[in-house]
Amino acid sequence: MKKKKIKATATQPTTKYIFVVGGVMSGVGKGITSSSIACVLQAQGLVVTAIKIDPYINVDAGTMNPTEHGEVFVLKDGLETDQDMGNYERFLNADMPSINYMTTGSVYQSVIEKERNLEYGGRNVEVVPDIPLEVIRRIKKAALVAAADVVLIEVGGTVGEYQNVLFLEAIRMMKTEQPENVAVVMVSYLPVPGSIGEMKTKPTQTAVRMLNSAGVFADMIICRSSMSVDQKRKEKIATFCNVRAENVISSPDLQSIYDIPLNYEADNLSSRLLAILGLTPKKRTDLKAWKQFVKQSKGGVDTVKIAVVGKYFNSGEFVLSDVYISVLEAIKFSAYKLNLKPEITYLSAQDFTDKKQLKRLGVFDGILLPGGFGKTGVEGMLNVIEYARKHDVPCFGICYGMQLMVVEFANHVLHLKYASTEEIDPSAKHLVIGVMPDQREKIAKKEMGGSMRLGQYPARLKTGSLAAKAYKTTEILERHRHRYEVNPEYIERLTAAGLSFSGTSPDSTLMEIVELPPEEHPFFVGVQFHPELQARPLAPHPLFTAFLKAAYEAK
């Protein structure tokens, strides 16, 4: 008998889909809400996966400036995505595959590609239904890949915007196709204007009406506000928005985002959702490990003061800590594990172009230099690295941070005149950081989108090195996002001058970790990859833990 091929569009009949849409305004925490819902459903023994839909034309998040869009999160398989994918991975303690992320641009690209390949059999290809159908195909494929009981789908943007209309259309079509398997959750914002001192529900009512005009009806409304929603307002929302009062969930501002799943459980959110979807839990809610983590996050007495010196913090009058969100969270997880209270200060690299400013660093126990691109702030970062190296301040460089550690070392210890990275000064005599050979061609052809060295790669660590001690293994897998690398021509000279290359690609061609020996410095480590992308609340990253431990001990 012929074997039946599983079609990519097929799906398990039992999969349930929860769409999360936002009302009233952006920035109310749809991503954290979706992650928290996913977290409490997972705690019932269900297999849960989460999808993010971004309304941009950009095919992925990789070409967006972080000051515009926040952090670019890189998935294990290399897709450059929105930071919400990072939230999903942290709250679910699981890797998300690239099928779980889409943008308007990527959806259109697929449809146009299929049209070019005659996959539509010569018929008219139209925005409706072909765009929503492609969205649905991807959602079902993600369900299949994860063998999910429940799929959370977060629709970016706010209801009422022109940009996400086609995604609402996809929800409408899916709900018509399988009403019993689809639930819609609206995350709305309820203002408490200072002049009135009362929580107002009208903007939410208007937002729900706009959602309804797209043919989509909410099953649950999650009310984001500075305070809890009282029973009276829950009933009012229920009456005006066509949901049952018990499906109006209060989601006040909390001390930490990691409290949210516990708050939802206190409000029976998961059982309400399971009831709406006719799903039975596979076990009694088990949030033990999560509760333990939350407890530990509040327990630390001793502080550890970390300066994150980045180049993307300033936007007009505002400080954008979102740009390095995974780095900040990774610091916290490791600090909690060590029972320490992290005090993180964001400092703009540009400020340290003036060396007189370096004395501001005196109050910190450790300095972290995150990744980045281009010239801005580089001089300041180099000054900070020199300061940390000479003053024995534990210093952790990530990607660009690591590359600049090598540049600083080459200039001031190896005394090359003068060394730089090809990214900022291609005419420098000693390009200790050079463009990777396969990248040179891509740059020449202006193939810049999705073309860096991206995603997870293995590396081998030197036995006995600081890195190997931290990881407790010599074989690791880490995620990357870079075009430049340590120039192999300089490795011998840098090593002779005392810089140890303690981690390399398995074929020894790419330098993945640099460190100074413990007799030279308490902690001077740079990594070409992005360890922050794999740090999780329930699995803190060993290198961050080693860095924080060194910072605390060097106090």
Query: Active-site residues: which are they?
Result: 399, 530, 532
Comparing CB distances to ligand GLN, the nearer of 372 and 377 is: 372
Sign of the four-CA dihedral 461, 466, 468, 470:
negative
Closest C-alpha to 304, from 392, 367, 384 = 367
The encoded tokens of residue 476 equal: 């690791």
Report which secondary-structure segment, H or E, holds 550.
Answer: helix 542-554
Comparing CB distances to ligand GLN, the nearer of 22 and 372 is: 372
CB of 370 to ligand GLN, least distance (A): 7
CB of 99 to ligand GLN, least distance (A): 24
With contacts defined by CB under 6 A, name the span among 165-173, 266-274, 475-483, 508-516 that binds ligand GLN: 475-483
- The DSSP letter of residue 6 is P
Note whether 249 and 218 are within 8 A (CB).
Answer: no
The encoded tokens of residue 188 equal: 């709305």
Interface with ligand GLN: number of residues (CB under 6 A): 11
Comparing CB distances to ligand GLN, the nearer of 55 and 66 is: 66
240 phi and psi, to 5 degrees?
-85, -20
Give the integer Cα–Cα distance in Å for 34 and 154.
7
Comparing CB distances to ligand GLN, the nearer of 33 and 528 is: 528
CB of 421 to ligand GLN, least distance (A): 8
Comparing CB distances to ligand GLN, the nearer of 371 and 503 is: 371
Can you give the three-state secondary structure of 21-66, one letter per residue? EECCCCCCCHHHHHHHHHHHHHCCCCCEEEEEEECCCCCCHHHCCH
Q: Does 457 bind ligand GLN (CB under 6 A)?
A: no
In sequence order, what are the beta bridge partners of 327? none
With contacts defined by CB under 6 A, name the span among 112-120, 177-185, 186-194, 482-490 that binds ligand GLN: 482-490
Q: Does 512 bind ligand GLN (CB under 6 A)?
A: no
CB of 429 to ligand GLN, least distance (A): 20
**Hey, is 500 helix, strand or coil?**
strand
CB of 79 to ligand GLN, least distance (A): 15
Whether the ω angle into residue 129 lies within 30 degrees of 0, i.e. cis, is yes
Determine which residue in the list 483, 521, 541, 549 makes contact with ligand GLN, applying CB under 6 A: 483
Determine which residue in the list 423, 478, 512, 515 makes contact with ligand GLN, applying CB under 6 A: 423
Comparing CB distances to ligand GLN, the nearer of 21 and 407 is: 407
In sequence order, what are the beta bridge partners of 187? 22, 222
Comparing CB distances to ligand GLN, the nearer of 130 and 423 is: 423
Can you give the three-state secondary structure of 163-196, one letter per residue? CCHHHHHHHHHHHHHCHHHEEEEEEEECCCCCCC
CB of 74 to ligand GLN, least distance (A): 9
When computed from its CA atoms, the radius of gyration of the chain, rounded to whole angstroms, is 25
Determine which residue in the list 16, 460, 481, 549 makes contact with ligand GLN, applying CB under 6 A: 481
The encoded tokens of residue 376 equal: 């801005």
Q: Does 482 bind ligand GLN (CB under 6 A)?
A: yes
Give the integer Cα–Cα distance in Å for 74 and 481.
7
CB of 438 to ligand GLN, least distance (A): 13
With contacts defined by CB under 6 A, name the span among 239-247, 259-267, 467-475, 481-489 that binds ligand GLN: 481-489
Please give the residue whose beta carbon sits closest to ligand GLN in the complex. Answer: 371
Q: Does 377 bind ligand GLN (CB under 6 A)?
A: no
Comparing CB distances to ligand GLN, the nearer of 289 and 443 is: 443
Give the integer Cα–Cα distance in Å for 481 and 401.
13
Size (the chain), residues = 555
Determine which residue in the list 17, 373, 396, 501 makes contact with ligand GLN, applying CB under 6 A: 373
- The DSSP letter of residue 539 is B
Give the integer Cα–Cα distance in Å for 292 and 279.
28
CB of 482 to ligand GLN, least distance (A): 3
In sequence order, what are the beta bridge partners of 222? 187, 249
CA of 186: how far to CAs of 221, 348, 357, 433, in Å? Answer: 5, 37, 47, 48
Angle between helices 202-213 and 231-241 (to 10 degrees): 30
Q: Does 372 bind ligand GLN (CB under 6 A)?
A: yes
Note whether 346 and 308 are within 8 A (CB).
Answer: yes
Q: Residues 381-420: x/- map of binding to ligand GLN (CB under 6 A)?
A: ------------------xx--x-----------------
| 332-371 positions binding ligand GLN, by CB under 6 A | 371
Comparing CB distances to ligand GLN, the nearer of 73 and 88 is: 73
CB of 68 to ligand GLN, least distance (A): 16
With contacts defined by CB under 6 A, name the span among 54-62, 246-254, 280-288, 477-485 that binds ligand GLN: 477-485
Sign of the four-CA dihedral 51, 56, 61, 65:
negative
CB of 168 to ligand GLN, least distance (A): 35
Give the integer Cα–Cα distance in Å for 419 and 416.
6
Give the integer Cα–Cα distance in Å for 11 and 7.
9
Comparing CB distances to ligand GLN, the nearer of 19 and 484 is: 484
Determine which residue in the list 484, 529, 547, 552 makes contact with ligand GLN, applying CB under 6 A: 484
User: Which residues are near ligand GLN by CB under 6 A?
Assistant: 371-373, 399-400, 403, 423, 481-484
